[in-house]
Amino acid sequence: MRSWLLVGIVAGAGCASDPGEPAGTDPPVPEVDGTFTPVVPAGDCAQSLSLYGMTGSATPTRVPLSLGTTGVTLCLALDGTDNIQVAHFAANTPYEMADTSSFLLTLYDAGGNLMGNGWDVAFGTSPTTVFANLEYGMPKGQITNVKLVVATRAGEQAADVSLYLFEPYE
């Protein structure tokens, strides 16, 4: 399982089916003032979950959600107290056969300040497979509380969102 996740991390940096033609959306780039524009605003916590960063595997915690365009906010306690270098957080949505994911991911700190938006990871052709991905290095040696917002681009649908917290350098 860990080898797939590392492939997902590399693919998130930019993947193309045809050189010079991006297959997905790149990670968000800060605006001129250094801030990001949120994709979906944070709301009240629909669920609260804790993830421990040194379980010894990158097995995801799967969270079934009923989603719409207003999003569902998950409050997460990311426990990096025993991590060696960093507590690497990742969230992703199910694979879809499409050019663009149906889903959006946005990460906030506990105070509601935007940390970053997710991006699409696409691979293959005829058909293209895509999923929404968000990754963030959390501090080691502490528990970090964040809010993850998961939404659809349009309409309503159910999806299992996969959440990871792990030590990438073990």
31/115: higher pLDDT: 115
Share of the chain above pLDDT 70, in %: 76
Asked, for residue 27, whether it belongs to a domain, the answer is no
pLDDT band at 43 (very low <50, low <70, confident <90, very high): confident
Helix H or strand E encompassing 11: helix 2-12
Asked, for residue 9, whether it belongs to a domain, the answer is yes
Asked, for residue 34, whether it belongs to a domain, the answer is no
Asked, for residue 22, whether it belongs to a domain, the answer is no
* pTM, rounded to two decimals: 0.78
Q: Domain limits at 104?
A: 2-16+39-166
Asked, for residue 113, whether it belongs to a domain, the answer is yes
pLDDT tens digits for 53-63?
A: 998 767 899 99
Asked, for residue 143, whether it belongs to a domain, the answer is yes
Asked, for residue 44, whether it belongs to a domain, the answer is yes
Round to whole Å and give the CA distance between 165 and 78: 7
pLDDT value of position 22: 35
Closest by CA to 7, choosing from 92, 99, 85, is: 92
Domain count within the chain: 1
Round to whole Å and give the CA distance between 96 and 18: 20
Asked, for residue 24, whether it belongs to a domain, the answer is no
Question: CB under 8 Å to 22, separation ≥6 — which residues?
Answer: 14, 16
Round to whole Å and give the CA distance between 114 and 111: 9
**Mean per-residue pLDDT of the chain:** 81
pLDDT value of position 37: 60
Q: What is the CATH number of the domain that holds 69?
A: 2.60.120.380
